[in-house]
Amino acid sequence: MSVKVRFAPSPTGMMHVGNARTALITYLLARSLDGHFLLRIDDTDLERSKKEYEEEIEAALIWMGCPWDEKARQRDRLHRYSECLEKMETAGRVYKCYETPEELSLKRKSQLSRGLPPIYDRAALALSEEQKAAYEAQGRKPHWRFKLEHKPIEWNDLVRGEVKFNGADLSDPVVLREDGSPLFNWCSVIDDMDYAITHIVRGEDHVSNTAAQIQMFEALGATPPEMAHLPLLSDAEGGKLSKRTGSLNLYDLRTEHGLESMALVSLLARLGTSEPIEPFTDIAPLVESFNFSKFGRAAPKFDVEELMRLNAKILHGSAFADVNVRLAHMGLQDMDEVFWEAVRPNITRLDDAKEWWRVARGPVDPVIEDADFIAQALELLPPAPWSSETWMQWANAVKEATGRKGKQLFMPLRQALTGMEHGPELAELLLLIGPDKARERLSGQKKAA
């Protein structure tokens, strides 16, 4: 069987890490089985769907290294959904309902107050043609529901194992709104059938939707795809993942936070699996090792701090050739390999390089707390030209003249040269700053350029 999968986002907002995980796992599944990856834009909500969100979804997938083989939009297939609705009406599997949202809400509240599950009571099936006509004369427009068969629904989930539902325990799902627009459950089944989708990856919050959709597939004469329901991500404390943990949409992660795409890919690919989370610089090993048997059912914790640690590790192992174009786009076109090699162990995000460029090139405000010590150090500063031996020559001379060593020696020099208490090794940093700027800063000149 030829494997075909789909990622089906709605373009109603920025792509979140939860959606990104579904997209990534779907992509890894496709590539691990030499399959076909369909990007399907679920845009039947014409009011909320926006072109800019669709473009951002595409940009996010490309950034993650998950290109699609084919693309489709649901709004281009509205006639097909209507065609299938007519077929199911003839077969007696869909029916019109005239309750208002307020009436349905009252029904649910009444059921809950009596300790009953809020399942639609199928009152619309008892309406006569006269009653339906009367409702329509009042200006009511019907919504349509799919009539579930009250029988067991079972499937072997690739993550959850054996899953069982009973049709009698589920509400007949709405497939068409009052305004005539089709809903997710209905469109998704028809698309998956028509595009010959063989595997569906989705969050576990869709398990009950899947139960209803399996009957829709069967009613339409199609075999349901293989299903894999991933546990939902939680935050680092095990609570619901939310924006209070930081901006978690991919646009902000890659633009405002300057995240390396493979940091996010490395984390999302291994979260919730039996394999260790480690930094990858290429998606190929993740494709090769992918298997649903490695996924557990517990909610994996998405930790932003862990994401940034992965980001730092990837950058620390990045050669200058891997980042020089991006550095140039940041205005650091004059940065060379020597500078990059010196500062990369001290960056968490690529744009941190801009701060070290400023420290080396200025302007900075030197921090001088012991002016006499720094004045002595200035007198002992070796003349140009400098080499890799210059720092040790200078440090040894200052140590001998002042008796200082260790932190008491290095920290005042670092503060005077950079205005900071941390950073790259002074042996490398001193060469980046150069003799002229070093003398200016040691002499206490502010904002040396």
Distance CA 65, CA 67 (A): 6
pLDDT in tens, 226-261: 999 999 999 888 887 764 444 589 999 998 888 999
Query: In what helix (H) or strand (E) does residue 358 lie, and over which residues does it extend?
Result: helix 352-361
CATH superfamily ID and name for 1-68+231-317: HUPs (3.40.50.620)
Contact 423, 411 (CB under 8 A): no
DSSP state of 292: G
Distance CA 53, CA 11 (A): 5
φ and ψ at residue 176, rounded to 5 degrees: -145, 130
Task: Report residue 7 as tokens.
Answer: 């990622």
Q: Token pair 């940091």 is at which residue?
A: 263
Task: Report residue 128 as tokens.
Answer: 């006569």
Is the pLDDT score of 4 beyond 80? yes
pLDDT of residue 242: 61
pLDDT of residue 1: 67
DSSP state of 403: -
Q: What's the full length of the chain, in residues?
A: 449
For 180, other C-beta atoms within 10 Å of its C-beta total: 12
Is the pLDDT score of 422 beyond 70? yes
Is the pLDDT score of 267 beyond 60? yes
CA-based torsion, 237, 240, 245, 248: positive or negative:
positive
Residues of the chain with CATH 1.10.10.350: 371-442
Residue 121: HSE in the Cβ half-sphere, 13 Å Cα cutoff: 15
Section 306-316 average pLDDT: 97
Contact 368, 420 (CB under 8 A): no
> What is the third-level CATH fold of 371-442?
Arc Repressor Mutant, subunit A (1.10.10)
Q: Please enumerate in sequence order all residues whose Cβ is within 8 A of that of 345, keeping only pairs 6 or more positions apart, or say none.
A: 316, 424
Contact 19, 35 (CB under 8 A): no
pTM for this one? 0.90
Query: In what helix (H) or strand (E) does residue 226 lie, and over which residues does it extend?
Result: strand 226-230
Residue type, 139: G
Distance CA 71, CA 139 (A): 39
Q: Residue 24: pLDDT band by 50, 70, 90 thresholds?
A: very high
Torsion of CA 80, 82, 83, 88, to 10 degrees: 130
Residues of the chain with CATH 3.40.50.620: 1-68+231-317
pLDDT of residue 244: 46
pLDDT in tens, 371-411: 999 999 999 999 999 999 999 999 999 999 999 999 999 99
Residue 280: HSE in the Cβ half-sphere, 13 Å Cα cutoff: 20
Q: In a 10 Å sphere around its CB, with 0-12 CB exposed, 13-18 middle and 19+ buried, how is residue 232 labelled?
A: middle
Query: In what helix (H) or strand (E) does residue 210 lie, and over which residues does it extend?
Result: helix 207-219
φ and ψ at residue 86, rounded to 5 degrees: -60, -40
Is the CATH number 3.30.565.10 carried by domain 79-176?
Answer: no
pLDDT of residue 247: 57
- Write down the mean pLDDT value for the chain: 94
Give the residue from 75, 58, 84, 68 showing the smallest Cα distance to 30: 68
Q: In a 10 Å sphere around its CB, with 0-12 CB exposed, 13-18 middle and 19+ buried, how is residue 349 labelled?
A: middle
pLDDT of residue 449: 46
Angle between helix 426-433 and 407-418 (nearest 10): 30
pLDDT of residue 279: 97
Query: In what helix (H) or strand (E) does residue 166 lie, and over which residues does it extend?
Result: strand 161-166
Residue type, 230: L
Residues of the chain with CATH 3.90.800.10: 79-176
Q: Please enumerate in sequence order all residues whose Cβ is within 8 A of that of 310, keeping only pairs 6 or more positions apart, or say none.
A: 263, 266, 267, 277, 278, 279
Q: Residue 275: pLDDT band by 50, 70, 90 thresholds?
A: very high
Is the pLDDT score of 147 beyond 60? yes
pLDDT of residue 235: 87
